[in-house]
A and B are shown apart, each in its own frame.
Chain A
Amino acid sequence: MRFLLFHRLDERVPDAFTPSEDLVQSVGRFVDEMVRAGVLLCAEGLRPSAQGARVSVRDGRRTVVDGPFDADDTVLAGFALVQVKSKDEAIEWASRFADVIGDVEMEVREITG
């Protein structure tokens, strides 16, 4: 079973997207732990929404809006794709990941197919 674990951050919080060196290292260690456990397929962090864009198609019309996105919500900040034995195991890895990042909500979603 594959799961996508991802978390969102509030860009209104200063430095939300510029983690401390300590945090970067802790996350690196944790990612390494997931690799060594044979569960991590890939993981990436995302740049702030100011460097992104939103594309939408409505009634055949395409709209592209450059970031930053509306500031009244959190934005996607990073993800890990894991291959595990059960949803419970995915939750366990997500909990550990959230512990490392701290003060964060981690979403756990199963991949179809």
Chain B
Amino acid sequence: MSAVTDPRAETHGAIDAVWRIESPRVIAGLARMVNDVGLAEELAQDALVAALEQWPESGVPRNPGAWLMAIAKRRAIDHIRRQQRLERKIEEIGHGLETEDPGSEFDAVIEDQIEDDLLRLVFTACHPVLTTQARVAMTLRLLGGLTTDEIARAFLSTEPTIAQRIVRAKKSLTEAGVPFEVPQGEERTARLASVLEVIYLVFNEGYSATAGEDWLRPALCDDALRLGRILTGLMPKEAEVHGLVALMEIQASRSPARTGPDGEPVLLLDQDRSRWDQLLIRRGLDALAVAEELDETKGPYVLQAAIAACHARAVTADETDWARIADLYADLTRATASPVVELNRAVALAMAYGPETGLELVDELRDDTFCPASAATCWPSWAGPPRPARSSSGPPS
């Protein structure tokens, strides 16, 4: 039935879909050829324009990804020829192109390398020469397949602002001569942290969206989850990647229960747990198990996922294993040295052993110049009454 009733409209929808699925791979493959992410994206966009021109007439080809790649590759070769350099490379690429159809064989040749190229693209989009905002925009644009307009709407910004941010980011990468590669050794650890930070930032932006906002905002959670799941395929040995995915899956599992009938927020311990998404919880627990198997020394994401898992495993709020959560927060404090984490640990201690135990830690935090009185003012009502001298409690955020 497809492509019969209204071929033009249907094809445009289909092209959008193909683009979302294939564009990261096309851009990644091209970026390796031309060693320039910005140029690679332009060439891929040219291929998209060609598809928009041709597919409504010809129908969507059987292997649309290979078709896009073949067109883009031709444009890349034209570009390289115009630049009158890299002659050896033309020979290499041109040979493969002229003798083969964009069929399955061609696809197989690319397939071998495309996963590596995707990983290079991930690390390049999140490169430290870029600001965090630019990394986010580049990641969603190049790897998430979002348009600049979609990114703008999701981040409550304007299309020109995001477009300009992306143009600047591409320029920064070119000017800094950032090579299209996966960092190795110690650099890799730091750079991976940056990649994970960008994805979790996207997730949290979506998670903080409130009712009535543009649907693209909460959809950022799905975008982040998708990116995270792709990363686990590209870096199956990295515990923290699985840890981040586990954390996001479990947090996303609570989405249906996080707001009441009038859109008001419902705190974790008050949530109707029957509304938690059991499929996502299962996926989260599985990802956590993989992470823990890979590395015994747990990183910050694995630890946060383990804490989220304690909540997910408790059928009722009363059954929460607070002692374990307090232990995990202690580990997380060592990993992050964050006063907010310490405050959370105080809450867990209070829940596990009574308010006094938790408040001892809060007192220490209050004395710490790093974290002034905020600890006591955040003391949650459900953790039991604070001592008389304390100011009244507010809800945990």
Which positions in A face B, CB cutoff 8 Å?
1, 35-39, 41-42, 81, 83, 85-89, 91-93, 95, 99, 113
State how many angstroms separate the Cβ of A41 from the closest Cβ of chain B: 6
* Closest chain B residue to A105, Cβ basis: B1
- Near A by CB (< 8 A), chain B positions 116-155 give 145
CA distance A42 to B279 in the complex (A): 9
Contacts between the two chains (Cβ within 8 Å), count? 54
CA distance A85 to B17 in the complex (A): 8
**Given A42-B279, A92-B17, A93-B21; 7 other pairs, CB 8 A cutoff:** A36-B233, A37-B226, A39-B226, A41-B279, A83-B222, A85-B20, A88-B17
Is B13 touching A88 in the complex (CB atoms < 8 A)? Answer: yes
Is A83 touching B14 in the complex (CB atoms < 8 A)? Answer: no
B283 part of interface (Cβ distance < 8 Å): yes
Q: Which residues of the other chain, B, contact A81 by a CB distance below 8 angstroms? A: 279
Which positions in B face A, CB cutoff 8 Å?
2, 13-14, 16-18, 20-21, 62, 115, 145, 219, 222, 225-230, 233, 256, 279, 283
State how many angstroms separate the Cβ of B386 from the closest Cβ of chain A: 39
Q: Which residues of the other chain, A, contact B62 by a CB distance below 8 angstroms? A: 99
Is B20 touching A38 in the complex (CB atoms < 8 A)? Answer: no
* Closest chain B residue to A93, Cβ basis: B21
Is A113 touching B256 in the complex (CB atoms < 8 A)? Answer: yes
Most buried by A among B115, B145, B226, B228: B226
Show 22 A/B contacts (Cβ-Cβ < 8 Å), sorted by A: A1-B222, A37-B21, A37-B226, A38-B225, A38-B226, A38-B228, A42-B279, A83-B222, A83-B226, A85-B20, A85-B145, A85-B219, A85-B222, A86-B20, A89-B17, A89-B20, A89-B21, A91-B14, A91-B17, A92-B17, A92-B18, A93-B21
CA distance A100 to B18 in the complex (A): 17
Q: Which residues of the other chain, B, contact A38 by a CB distance below 8 angstroms? A: 225-230, 233
Is A88 touching B228 in the complex (CB atoms < 8 A)? Answer: no
Is A41 touching B222 in the complex (CB atoms < 8 A)? Answer: no
CA distance A83 to B226 in the complex (A): 8
Is A35 touching B226 in the complex (CB atoms < 8 A)? Answer: no
State how many angstroms separate the Cβ of A19 from the closest Cβ of chain B: 20
CA distance A35 to B286 in the complex (A): 14
* Closest chain A residue to B230, Cβ basis: A38
